[in-house]
Each structure stands twice: as C-alpha cells, then as structure tokens.
Structure 1
Amino acid sequence: MTEDRKVIVSIADEELSSIPAVVSALEEAGLTVDAVLEPIGTVTGSIGSGDVAALQDVPGVRDVELQRDVDQR
C-alpha cells in the first residue's frame, strides 16, 4: 500500500466553467477531494503517492503540486 500524498490541483482557465466535471474525473483517477475552491480554480485532496502523476493526465488539469508542510516555529 502506498502512502497518501496531499496535492493541490490547478484547473486550466478554459475549463473553469466545467469544474464539476473535472472534479469527477479527478475522483475517478483516485483523488479523494478535500476542497473545491471554484473562485480560484483549485482542488485540494489526497491520493496514493504512486498515482499522483495520473492526475496530470486528467482533461482540464493545468498543474498538480504536492502540498508542503511548513514549520511555523
């Protein structure tokens, strides 16, 4: 079993009117959605570390970034 990774997915500008369809496709690709931030075209969630690259192939996705934890000491 692979470790889940938190990701931030950016939706392509030309697909902003189709965010629900893109979110459905991301879920089919294995993403567990935490939040959909429609005004800024961003989806956050988690997926197995071995499946992160597959999200980039989802139609309507502009970019996929790994979420980083910041130490605020």
Structure 2
Amino acid sequence: MIVMMSRTNRSSMQRTSRTHVALWVAQALLAATFIFAGIAKLAMSSADLEDAVPLPVLFMRFIALAELFGGLG
C-alpha cells in the first residue's frame, strides 16, 4: 500500500510540475505578445497609426504603454 501511494504521489507531482511549466511558458508568450504589440504601436508614426486605427493617436499611445507595462509586470 505504501509503495502504491508513493508512486501515486510521484505521478501527481510530475503532472503538477508539467502543469506549472506549461503555465509559465504560456505566461511568457502572452507577456512577449503584449510587449511586442506595445512596442509596435509606439514605433509607428502618428500618420500610420491614424490610418491603421480609427481612434485618437494619444489614446493609442496610452494603449501601447498599457500593453508594454502589462507585458513587463
């Protein structure tokens, strides 16, 4: 009985460890997406930004900063 519990606990810990790694990878990819989107919006000229999105440029700059800081923190 003790051997079976030990195997069960080890298997459970491996699954938990894999889940944690998968969540960290997903979090890193999401953070990178936000960072790159923020940088892309900040790097665009005002004219290009106005043509691409029908929102005020200052609002889009705010969104870019929010994406950048969201990805960093």
TM-score, length basis structure 1: 0.25
Look at both structures and tell me which one has the larger radius of gyration over its CA atoms. Answer: 2
TM-score, length basis structure 2: 0.25
Kindly indicate whether structure 1 or structure 2 has the higher relative contact order, using CA contacts under 8 Å at least 6 residues apart.
1
- Structure with greater helix share of residues: 2
